Amino acid sequence: MYTEKVMDHFMHPRNVGEIENASGVGTVGNAKCGDIMRIYLDIDENQVVRDAKFKTFGCGAAIATSSMATELIIGKTVQDALKVTNKAVMEALDGLPPVKVHCSLLAEQAVNAALWDYAKKNNLTIEGLKPPVNDVDELDEEEEE
């Protein structure tokens, strides 16, 4: 049911973890539906994503898309990271079963939410950046404590 790439990123996920004092953190999804993704970004002074980490509660596809999304954005400028769409994540994984397409959307939204957090913290306007959707409010509040 899953491609070899998806299985590889599920069995050996890249970039699992947290980043202390991250430049931006985004958490999207909800536990009720069974998917929550949190992405941490470390962004340098040239607005390049130096590192990205993730934590995901969800199925195999959710973990694999988070892993792939972090891989795709590391080394990119925030502008280019913003252009990493769910389609790009899916293509990089050689596709997802139709019922799992929402996992790749969640990955895109998690990256977006982390970039939004970064922009907010630094009072930056990033062209094309939209307010996060599918945000987990209660988790955000906890992070701010």
Which positions are annotated as active-site residues? 33, 103
Task: Map tokens 């790439």 to a residue.
Answer: 5
Question: By the 8 A CB rule, do 116 and 110 touch?
Answer: no
Stretch near another protein under the rule CB under 8 A, chosen from 49-57, 70-78, 112-120, 127-135: 49-57
Element (H, E) at 37: strand 35-43
Q: Which is nearer to another protein, 4 or 127 (CB)?
A: 4
**Interface pick for another protein out of 43, 63, 73, 82 (rule CB under 8 A):** 63
Region of 10-18, 41-49, 112-120, 121-129 interacting with another protein (CB under 8 A): 10-18
Please state the closest distance from residue 18 (CB atom) to another protein, in A.
7
The phi and psi torsions of 33 (rounded to 5 degrees) equal: -85, -10
Number of neighbours of residue 112 by Cβ within 10 angstroms: 24
Task: Report helix angle 60-73 to 101-121, nearest 10.
Answer: 40
Let me know: does 119 contact 32? Beta carbons within 8 Å.
Answer: no
Nearest residue (CB) to another protein, 54 versus 116: 54
Would you count residue 132 as binding another protein (CB under 8 A)?
no
Separation of alpha carbons 138 and 20, rounded Å: 20
Q: Does 9 bind another protein (CB under 8 A)?
A: no
Q: Which amino acid would we find at residue 103? A: C
Site for another protein in 11-30 (CB under 8 A): 11, 13, 16, 18, 27
Query: Which residues contact another protein by CB under 8 A?
Result: 7, 10-11, 13, 16, 18, 27, 31-38, 54-63, 99, 139, 142
